Structure 1
Amino acid sequence: MTSSFAGDRAQDLGLLFLRISGALFVLFVHGLPKLLDFKTQLTLIEDPFHMGATLTLCLAIFAEVLCPLFILTGVLARLACLPILFLLLVALLWVHPEWSVEQGQFGWLLIILFTTLLIAGPGRLALTVRLPGALRHA
């Protein structure tokens, strides 16, 4: 085994770990609670763009349930990072602009994690390696 192969393998394992841990974290901490307690969440969700609580919550569920599932599998992972990043930036910059970096550190760390995946892609240990052309790189 050459050192280049070992380095590539380590990079792919690192991206796999980042994808799985980040996606499961967002899914279980944020997404599933919203999905499973939809009615209560309607009364709690902020609506910074005045689209209505139902649409806002549905968009949040899309970003925090469906997108993590895509990231988890590596299918359209880069594209799936965008709604999560948008949601995080809205939460930190519009909904909670009074938060210090310390108060918003969890959100900022998630932005770092999903921006890293957006830049690096899912790695070779993803289902996208079996997709054709442009879909493979999305």
Structure 2
Amino acid sequence: MHRSSIDWALLFLRVSGCLLLLGVHGLPKLLNFSHELTVIEDPLHLGAWPTLSLAILAEVWCPLLIILGLLTRLACLPILAVLLVSLFIVHPEWSLAEGQFAWLLLIIFVTVLIAGPGRLSVCGRLLERRPSAAWIS
């Protein structure tokens, strides 16, 4: 496969996965913060405000970084943590069918974590100029 095709595929994966996460989970939490404080599960017993704030970090700010391709691998980690907590602590009773959206997001963001952002990203552009900046991808 041509390197350009891989870069376009990674861009599509990053953007589409992040837009799904933002649209379905992140933006509704951010835009309805007060209401979400009353209904959010608190599986780690941190309190509603810290739990919701961490969810917004993982579901709004991290996807925005990933879309840009900035600190992509690092930004995947909070998303993966929220997905794993959701699947194994908050909703352990879910069947595969009930949890399929979370599983698909897990597959997308583990793939991005492994592959990195590709060259069609802020980090990709920085790496072209400064190969020593590989740590920021």
Q: What's 2:29 paired with?
A: 34
1:107 and 2:107 aligned: no
Cα distance in 2, alignment partners of residues 130 and 107 from structure 1: 31
Pairing 1:12-27 to 2, within 5 Å after superposition:
12-27=7-22
What TM-score do the two structures reach when normalised by structure 1? 0.91
- Compute the TM-score of the two structures, normalised by the length of structure 2: 0.92
Is the 1:78–1:117 contact (alpha carbons within 8 Å) kept by the matching residues of 2?
yes
Residue 27 (structure 1) shift: 1.0
Matches within 5 A, 1:1-138: 7-131=2-126, 132=130, 133-134=132-133, 136-138=135-137
The unaligned stretches of length 5 or more in structure 1 are none
Count residues in correspondence. Answer: 133
Contact 1:78 1:118 in 2 (8 A): yes
* Change in CA separation of 1:112 and 1:99 when aligned onto 2, cut-off 3 Å: same
Alignment partners' CA distance in 1, 2:136 and 2:34: 37
The two structures, once aligned, show a CA RMSD in angstroms of 1.3
Q: Percent identity?
A: 60
Give, as a single letter, the amino acid of the residue that structure 1 aligns with 2:43. Answer: P
Deviations 1:50-95 (A, max 9, x none): 0000000000000000000000000001110000000000000000
Cα pair 1:128 1:136 within 8 Å, conserved: no
